[in-house]
Amino acid sequence: MNILKNDEAIQQLKNAKRIAVLTGAGVSAESGIPTFRGEEGLWTKLSPHEMASFEAFYNNTAIVSEWYHHRREIIDKSNPNPGHYALKELQDLTEDFSLITQNVDGLHQRAGSTDVIELHGNIMENYCINCNRQFSHEEFDEIYRHNSNHIPHCFCGGLIRPNVVWFGEQLPEESIKKAYQAAIRSEVFLSVGTSAQVAPASDLPRHAKQNGSYLIEINPNQTAISDIVSLRFEGLSGDILPMFVEDLKEILSNNQQTVR
């Protein structure tokens, strides 16, 4: 990573009172959770509509439920990585901080981040499509294991589905509203580990830039927004974000000592 670039990024972060961050599958991949795109992505092996649509769930409930059960098992065995923890520290150092994620694994919360804006829901949560009763993933798994057909039914008889946004469904209205507001008012916007291909999340960095935000991208690969960012770091979030935070903490500590 270029030292001069790092200095510029740290100065922007230091001077900003309002910082927004968008994270994508690349951040979770560093914790061992498979991405959906890329050479090893899940969608290279399965069609999205085979596993991630209401139609698929309704017509093949047992298979789809088993797939989500398996994904939860992977997440249960995974841990937040240094990038997750660095974002939690950055939140603590920032006056007005918004963390927006396309990920559904809850690893940001497990790292200590609060008020996370989840655009695509949370795979660890479930609800009945009939009565809307909420089920934790432990409750869901208990029902799943004790059902010989692996078709999880609520006590009312309705099917239980994961609380994620499937293809053809709208994003949670309140979440996308908060995300747009955070992007527009941000002074620095970080796009981290996302391909910036899936709307409306992919529009957030562009809206931030159009409204005067300093746009920083962290990604090992070129993305759909790489040509418009203010600054780009080619690498893993787990390597780069902790360096940002350590440098920022050092500068803030030196400033406090100078004031004294």
Question: Are 186 and 231 in the same domain?
Answer: yes
Question: Are 95 and 192 in the same domain?
Answer: yes
Question: Are 90 and 213 in the same domain?
Answer: yes
- What's residue 234's pLDDT? 95
Residue 43 lies in a domain: no
Question: Are 130 and 29 in the same domain?
Answer: no
Residue 38 lies in a domain: no
**Is 147 a residue whose pLDDT tops 90?**
no
Query: Average pLDDT of 104-115?
Result: 97
State percent of the chain over pLDDT 90.
68
Count: domains in the chain: 2
Q: Looking at residue 179, which CATH number applies to its domain?
A: 3.40.50.1220
Among 111, 143, 164, residue at a domain's last position = 164
Residue 44 lies in a domain: no
Q: How confident is the model at residue 141 (pLDDT cuts 50, 70, 90)?
A: confident
Q: Looking at residue 152, which CATH number applies to its domain?
A: 3.30.1600.10
Question: Are 114 and 238 in the same domain?
Answer: yes
Question: Are 228 and 251 in the same domain?
Answer: yes
- 120 belongs to the catalytic site: yes
Residue 129 lies in a domain: yes
Q: Which amino acid is at 202?
A: S
Question: How many H-runs (helices) and E-runs (strands) does the chain carry?
Answer: 11, 9
Strand order in the sheet with 121-128: 134-136, 121-128, 160-164
The answer to whether 94 and 86 have CB atoms below 8 angstroms apart is: no
Question: Are 152 and 248 in the same domain?
Answer: no
Residue 40 lies in a domain: no
- What's residue 64's pLDDT? 86
- Using DSSP, state whether 65 is helix, strand or coil: helix
Of residues 84, 120, 146, 207, which has the active-site annotation?
120
The C-alpha angle with vertex 253 and arms to 113 and 193, in degrees rounded to 5, equals 35
**Residue 85 CA: distances (Å) to CA of 36, 101, 110, 133, 175:** 23, 14, 9, 32, 22
Question: Helices in 32-96 by DSSP H: which ranges?
Answer: 48-51, 54-59, 61-76, 82-93
Residue 39 lies in a domain: no
Burial of residue 125 (CB within 10 Å: 0-12, 13-18, 19+) is middle
Query: Average pLDDT of 220-237?
Result: 96
Strands 160-164 vs 188-192: parallel, antiparallel or unpaired? unpaired
Residue range(s) defining the domain that contains residue 159: 49-77+123-164
Question: Are 155 and 198 in the same domain?
Answer: no
**Is 70 a residue whose pLDDT tops 80?**
yes
- What's residue 257's pLDDT? 56
Question: Are 155 and 240 in the same domain?
Answer: no
